[in-house]
Amino acid sequence: MQLSNLSDDYIAFKVKTTSPKKYSVRPNTGVVLPRSTCDVVVTMQAQREVPSDMQCKDKFLVQSVVAPSGINVKDVTGEMFMKESGNKIEEVKLRVTYVAPPQPPSPVPEESEEGSPSRVESENGDGPAGGFTRHCENALSPKKNL
């Protein structure tokens, strides 16, 4: 995901998830300089099996606050994102949606010796790769302007 700072302020951010053991978020805190962007990589840990209904209740929360000019990433603290800090905290919630992998194009069937078309199957007989991908979904765009 890409965080964009369209302001002239320094913006500190923090990314939280409802399933911290399932996802790696790098960086999960940081600073977006004025009029610049920051890429945040979200990686889902390998899962043992595909969810049968392809439903997911996982969510991410991106919090941001205006930070002092010249702030360093090391100076971003959890206290900055607490209501008691007095900072105006902006929050955006993103939900995770599982998306089935794209189906490979069908090969042109060749005629077998008996005249019937041959079939192509995966080695384990359950069709194409049984994996899945996920993406963060936002009502407007996967890129968030701070």
pLDDT tens across 15-39, in order? Answer: 999 999 999 999 999 999 999 999 9
The confidence score (pLDDT) of residue 134 equals 35
Residue 66 above 80 pLDDT? Answer: yes
d(CA 146, CA 144): 6
The confidence score (pLDDT) of residue 99 equals 86
CATH number, residue 24: 2.60.40.10
The confidence score (pLDDT) of residue 125 equals 43
For 64-103, give the secondary structure using H, E and C. Answer: EEEECCCCCHHHCCHHHHCHHHCCCCEEEEEEEEEECCCC
- For 85-116, write each residue's pLDDT tens digit: 999 999 999 999 988 888 888 787 655 544 44
pTM above 0.75, yes or no: no
d(CA 14, CA 43): 16
Residue 63 above 50 pLDDT? Answer: yes
Residue 44 above 80 pLDDT? Answer: yes
Find the domain containing 25 and state its range. Answer: 2-145
- Average pLDDT of span 110-126: 45
Q: How many structural domains are present in the chain?
A: 1
